[in-house]
Amino acid sequence: MIEYIISALILIGALFTFIGSLGLVRLKDFYTRLHGPTKATTLGVGSLLFASALYFSRGGELSMHEILVTLFLFITAPVSAHLLAKAALHLQLRSLAEPPEAESKRD
């Protein structure tokens, strides 16, 4: 039964990781590209690490290495994305999206 759970976690992790990397390639703007690795890929790698922790658990104990890596990943990914966005705003990197003023003038 545990093999089915591990297999499902691996498939879910691979799917999220693929969607995150596809979003990184397909999206046109820095700000929208930032969502790919920080949202979907974080969930994908977290799922893969949790599957690894279940697989390598011995004697009923969870492997703490994978749990700690997952914890640090979930803590550092949003912080690094926030710092990247703040750096882009500081450098006045333009977004390809229309500003809100342009949308209200069209109506």
How many domains does the chain contain in total? Answer: 1
Q: Domain range holding 22?
A: 2-106
Here the CATH number for the domain that contains residue 91 is 1.10.287
Residues 42, 56 contacting (CB under 8 angstroms) = no
Instruction: Please tell me the distance from the alpha carbon of residue 25 to that of residue 92, in angstroms, as a whole number.
Output: 22
SS (H, E, C) 55-80: HCCECCECCHHHHHHHHHHHHHHHHH
Mean pLDDT, each 10-residue run in order, the chain (107 residues): 93 93 86 83 89 84 83 89 91 79 59
pLDDT of residue 16: 93
Structure confidence at residue 13 (pLDDT): 94
Q: What is the pLDDT of residue 6?
A: 93
The overall pTM is greater than 0.85:
no
